[in-house]
């Protein structure tokens, strides 16, 4: 045909609607299976995807979070008072804050020469010959001078070293634990912002600010009071506080925001959970401690107090998840649901053609075999003509 013809035809064809031909099988058993599978798929989508997973929502899982922590409380160590400026570090109040619960202090250390600890490999000696001058043992405390001296006020001798003297193992004084710490409170302020939804939430109720700092958190009675007793935290983390005082430990404070902005945003309150993060097993590495020193000058010389501190480190970890209705995901998931229903046919076809199909009548009708057009002739003709061929002879061949 001519180009115009063709183009015209194409244009007309473009506006045709094409839909697959369906074979209806009046088979109750099959129908039931079919509907059952469909029901299953639809239930899955409606119940799991849409209701439980809220697939109709646009979600945001990594909100901008700001944490401010402040430790409060005070305890007695013998006659002297210890307050937060002494046992809390760092002072800036970020999302990691540690409290010292017990200290081993080595007072008045200064650069000088003293005896190495007897545990250090080949530190024990009888004569200077046993000590290599200038040796710097990796596990030791300093550089050997080459002399063999008596171990402080003891009778036995060890190698002399240049170091901060006296050495910690010998001179450290273990203070009693700060038992009052169980009543210390940590105030955790957490402001969270979901940029996508432009929602800002804070874990503090705006009203009654004065009362705020007096309350203590309890999930039931005071969900809006982010002031936690260390005792409460330890208990929630299933740890004995006395044990923590001895070895120290790292405890994670998890703030979970699960917000559904289809309902009132003010309904979105954080939940808190506590879990010990470091190992509980009795390794030398278990627990939490750190060393620091206070430096000072006495008659022109630099001294320091070396402090080995056991304590609780709180890591505040914020998880946020917010959802809000959005068209795109809704459409996508609905389409997926609809297309997934198609899976039913695959299953049922298989059942039908394998088990139910008696003497292949279904498959005969479902599958129109192009190769079968040549037998028996007459039928073929009909078939062909039934698709509008124009063999004049044929159409006559059919009796009216």
* Interface with a second copy in residues 93-152 (CB under 8 A): 93-94, 96, 98, 111, 136, 138, 140-143
* Residue of 49, 86, 110, 38 lying closest to 347 (CA atoms): 38
Strand 301-325 versus strand 249-260 pairing type: parallel
Q: Which stretch binds a second copy (CB under 8 A): 2-10, 230-238, 247-255, 257-265?
A: 247-255
Q: Judged by CB, which is closer to a second copy: 245, or 306?
A: 306
Q: Show Cβ contacts of residue 47 under 8 Å, excluding neighbours closer than 6 positions.
A: none
Dihedral of the alpha carbons of 257, 260, 264, 270, in degrees to the nearest 10: -10
Q: Judged by CB, which is closer to a second copy: 42, or 191?
A: 191
126 assigned to a ligand binding site: no
Considering only 5, 79, 264, 393, the residue that binds a second copy (CB under 8 A) is 79
| Shortest distance (Å) from residue 243 CB to a second copy | 17
* Residue 176 makes contact with a second copy by CB under 8 A: no
* Residue 51 makes contact with a second copy by CB under 8 A: no
Strand 143-150 versus strand 157-165 pairing type: antiparallel
54 assigned to a ligand binding site: no
* Residue 383 makes contact with a second copy by CB under 8 A: yes
Considering only 5, 285, 354, 393, the residue that binds a second copy (CB under 8 A) is 285
Q: Which stretch binds a second copy (CB under 8 A): 73-81, 122-130, 149-157, 230-238?
A: 73-81
| Shortest distance (Å) from residue 332 CB to a second copy | 8
Dihedral of the alpha carbons of 377, 382, 387, 390, in degrees to the nearest 10: 90
Within 208-227, the residues that bind a second copy by CB under 8 A are 209-210, 212-213
Coil/strand/helix, residue 96: strand
* Residue of 120, 162, 121 lying closest to 142 (CA atoms): 162
Considering only 127, 153, 282, 354, the residue that binds a second copy (CB under 8 A) is 282
How far is Cα of residue 399 from the mean position of the Cα atoms in its chain?
79
Within 312-341, the residues that bind a second copy by CB under 8 A are 313, 315, 317, 328, 331, 335, 338-340
* Residue 22 makes contact with a second copy by CB under 8 A: yes
The whole-angstrom separation of Cα 301 and Cα 307 is 19
The whole-angstrom separation of Cα 297 and Cα 110 is 10
* Residue 36 makes contact with a second copy by CB under 8 A: no
* Residue 358 makes contact with a second copy by CB under 8 A: no
Considering only 123, 255, 306, 322, the residue that binds a second copy (CB under 8 A) is 306
Report the sign of the C-alpha dihedral through residues 321, 325, 331, 335, in that order. Answer: positive
Considering only 288, 310, 312, 320, the residue that binds a second copy (CB under 8 A) is 288
| Shortest distance (Å) from residue 6 CB to a second copy | 13
The whole-angstrom separation of Cα 219 and Cα 69 is 19
Q: Which stretch binds a second copy (CB under 8 A): 152-160, 170-178, 234-242, 345-353?
A: 345-353
| Shortest distance (Å) from residue 395 CB to a second copy | 4
Q: Judged by CB, which is closer to a second copy: 219, or 256?
A: 256
C-beta neighbour count of 194 within 10 angstroms:
24
| Shortest distance (Å) from residue 155 CB to a second copy | 26
Q: Judged by CB, which is closer to a second copy: 119, or 156?
A: 119
Considering only 3, 354, 376, 393, the residue that binds a second copy (CB under 8 A) is 376
φ, ψ for residue 357, nearest 5 deg:
-55, 100
Burial class, 391, CB count within 10 angstroms (exposed 0-12 / middle 13-18 / buried 19+): exposed
| Shortest distance (Å) from residue 358 CB to a second copy | 11
Q: Judged by CB, which is closer to a second copy: 86, or 175?
A: 86
Q: Which stretch binds a second copy (CB under 8 A): 150-158, 169-177, 230-238, 392-400?
A: 392-400
Token pair, residue 224, equals: 């809006």
φ, ψ for residue 98, nearest 5 deg:
-120, 145
Check: CB of residue 145 under 8 Å from CB of residue 133: yes
Q: Judged by CB, which is closer to a second copy: 18, or 264?
A: 18
Inter-residue long-range contacts of 20-26, CB under 8 Å, 24+ positions, other chains counted: 23/362, 23/365, 23/366, 25/352, 25/362
Q: Show Cβ contacts of residue 11 under 8 Å, excluding neighbours closer than 6 positions.
A: none
The whole-angstrom separation of Cα 94 and Cα 66 is 9
Considering only 54, 189, 246, 321, the residue that binds a second copy (CB under 8 A) is 189
Binding-site residues: 185, 308
Binding-site residues for ATP: 185, 308
């Amino acid at each position: 045909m001519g180009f115009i013809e063709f183009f015209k035809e194409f244009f007309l064809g473009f506006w045709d609607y094409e839909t697959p031909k369906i074979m209806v099988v009046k088979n109750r058993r099959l129908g039931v299976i079919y509907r059952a599978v469909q029901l299953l798929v639809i239930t899955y989508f409606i119940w799991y995807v849409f209701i439980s997973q809220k697939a109709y929502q646009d979600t945001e899982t990594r909100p901008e979070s700001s944490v401010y922590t402040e430790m409060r409380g005070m305890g007695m160590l013998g006659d002297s008072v210890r307050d937060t400026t002494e046992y809390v570090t760092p002072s800036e109040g970020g999302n990691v804050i540690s409290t010292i619960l017990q200290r081993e202090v080595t007072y008045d250390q200064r650069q000088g020469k003293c005896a190495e600890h007897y545990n250090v490999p080949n530190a024990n000696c009888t004569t200077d010959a046993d000590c290599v001058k200038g040796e710097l043992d990796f596990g030791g405390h300093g550089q050997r001078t080459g002399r063999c001296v008596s171990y402080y006020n003891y009778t036995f001798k060890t190698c002399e070293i240049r170091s901060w003297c006296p050495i910690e193992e010998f001179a450290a004084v273990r203070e009693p634990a700060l038992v009052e710490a169980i009543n210390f409170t940590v105030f955790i302020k957490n402001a969270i912002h979901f940029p996508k939804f432009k929602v800002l939430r804070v874990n503090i109720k705006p009203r009654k600010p004065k009362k705020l700092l007096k309350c203590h958190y309890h999930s039931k009675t005071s969900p809006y009071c982010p002031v936690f007793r260390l005792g409460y935290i330890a208990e929630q983390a299933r740890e004995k506080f006395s044990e923590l005082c001895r070895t120290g430990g790292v405890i994670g404070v998890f703030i979970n925001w699960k917000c559904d902005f289809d309902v009132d945003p003010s309904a979105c309150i954080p939940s808190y959970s506590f879990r010990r993060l470091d190992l509980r097993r009795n390794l030398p590495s278990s627990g939490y401690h750190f060393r620091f020193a206070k430096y000072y000058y006495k008659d022109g010389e630099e001294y320091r107090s070396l402090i080995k501190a056991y304590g609780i480190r709180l890591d505040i970890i914020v998880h946020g998840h917010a959802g809000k209705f959005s068209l795109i995901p809704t459409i996508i998931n609905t389409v997926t649901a609809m297309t997934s229903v198609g899976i039913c046919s695959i299953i049922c076809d298989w059942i039908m053609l394998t088990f139910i199909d008696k003497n292949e009548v279904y498959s005969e009708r479902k599958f129109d075999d192009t190769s079968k057009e040549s037998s028996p002739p007459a039928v073929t003709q009909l078939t062909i003509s039934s698709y509008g061929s124009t063999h004049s002879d044929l159409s006559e061949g059919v009796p009216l």
